[in-house]
Amino acid sequence: MRPYSQVLDQLRNAGLRPTRQRLALAKLLFENAPRHVTAEGLHGEAQRAQVRVSLATVYNTLHQFTEAGLLKEVVIDANRSHFDTTTTEHGHFFFEDESRLQDIPDGQVELVSLPDLPEGTTVKSIDVVVRLNNS
């Protein structure tokens, strides 16, 4: 839950100018958070909301927001990149038939323990995905 009002500050802190496009995309993303988007999907939404923004800019913006810590990229789907407004650690359901992502409520997918790490490595993230089929 990241109030949209904080977003402007976070853009500034990340050295990102609050352009019309970024603000519009941030609004779509964070006023409806928590949520998951693909570039294509967010672009379509923007168009439907009468926001003129190119697909290239949507891609750039998603990556910039990710670098700024506003989003987390979720690698789950061989065909498409997904982004999540929730950046804290949590698991995902992935509906294979619809290529749709859904958060697993906190506390429902804890690991028994952290595995022994290979020498000279640090954990970047731990991703738990429960892949689901209909029926």
Binding site for a copy of itself (CB under 8 A): 73, 75-78, 81, 91, 93, 95-96, 102, 104-105, 108-118, 120-135
- Burial category of 131 from C-beta neighbours within 10 Å (exposed 0-12, middle 13-18, buried 19 and up): exposed
Taking the C-alpha atoms of residue 36 and residue 41, their distance in angstroms, rounded to an integer, is 10
Taking the C-alpha atoms of residue 13 and residue 46, their distance in angstroms, rounded to an integer, is 25
Residue number with CB closer to a copy of itself (9 or 127):
127
Residue number with CB closer to DNA (11 or 85):
11
Pick what 53 binds: DNA, a copy of itself, none; C-beta below 5 to 8 Å, kind-dependent: DNA
Residue number with CB closer to a copy of itself (10 or 60):
60
Pick what 73 binds: DNA, a copy of itself, none; C-beta below 5 to 8 Å, kind-dependent: a copy of itself
What is the closest distance, in whole angstroms, from the C-beta atom of residue 129 to DNA in the complex? Answer: 17
Pick what 10 binds: DNA, a copy of itself, none; C-beta below 5 to 8 Å, kind-dependent: none
Closest CA to 135 of 83, 75, 95, 90: 95
Taking the C-alpha atoms of residue 114 and residue 20, their distance in angstroms, rounded to an integer, is 43
Residue 48: CA atoms inside 13 Å, Cβ hemisphere, count?
7
What is the closest distance, in whole angstroms, from the C-beta atom of residue 107 to a copy of itself in the complex? Answer: 9
H-helix or E-strand containing 84?
Answer: strand 82-84
Residue number with CB closer to DNA (97 or 116):
97
